[in-house]
Amino acid sequence: MANIETEQNEETAHELRPRPTREILLGGLGFIIFLTLLVLGMNAIGKENLQQMIEDAGIFAPLLYIFIKAITYIFAPLTSGPIQAAAGTLFGSIELGVLYTLIGEVIGGSISFWIARRFGRPVVLRFVGNEGMKQVDDFYQNRMGGWVSLAVARLVLFSVWDFLSYAAGLAKPVKFSTYLWVSIILGSLPTWFFVWLGNQAMENQTNLFLVYGLVAALVLLPLAAHRQIAWLLAWASSKR
């Protein structure tokens, strides 16, 4: 009986394990620094000049952007968050920025899903690295339930959805159609938010302080509420 309780306690502790604080803080700080440099660089070149270059490139500009987004999902340690923040300004509207970003995310995530489904864990490890594989294994082994767990994860773990796409592929009960509609419908919400956030910074530099505040809130929330988030994910994994 004691052994069973011990195993349950260890499992619960594992499920409540938060992402490393240093990793979260560095990620938030890196996003702020990169976004600030991006805003300054775009203002130095001129928003109109950049938009004209995008327009002159024709269909190749959105195709290149979508390709970059997809690649950063497949090679999950890479990130394109700050570039995503510029999408609304570069393509002339938040709607187009969201559309192209979402297409890239869905294509990249779908490829990741099928890499995991067809080739398994050894090949996934090559794409995500050792640290990334820990996140994949953690979700796959402890938090992967039905569509509810995927839906909740897409909203509260949006920053690591690239890794979780591999976890969904490893989970045989998860249908690709379920993964796809969760990625498109619920994925549009965090995608819209970050494109909108970046657009505010690009349109008016005084809005950078608003952006800094929102990014800080997104960084601190997982640290302050990691137990509540873990409970929500555990609840979602029990639903089918």
pLDDT in tens, 26-60: 666 777 777 777 777 777 777 788 888 888 888 99
Span 127-139, mean pLDDT?
84
Whole-number pLDDT of residue 106: 96
Tokens of 7: 């195993």
Question: What is the model's pTM?
Answer: 0.79
Q: Can you give the residue ranges of every domain in the chain?
A: 25-237
Whole-number pLDDT of residue 16: 42
Between 130 and 235, the higher pLDDT residue: 130
Whole-number pLDDT of residue 54: 87
Q: What pLDDT, in 10s, does the model give residues 158-193? A: 878 888 999 999 988 889 999 999 999 999 999 998
Q: Give the chain's length.
A: 240
Q: Decide: 124 and 170 in contact? Cβ < 8 Å.
A: yes
* Cβ partners under 8 Å of residue 147, min gap 6: 178, 182, 240
Whole-number pLDDT of residue 81: 66
Tokens of 39: 């805003």
Q: What pLDDT, in 10s, does the model give residues 60-93? A: 999 999 999 999 889 877 766 667 888 998 898 9
Average of per-residue pLDDT values in the chain = 80
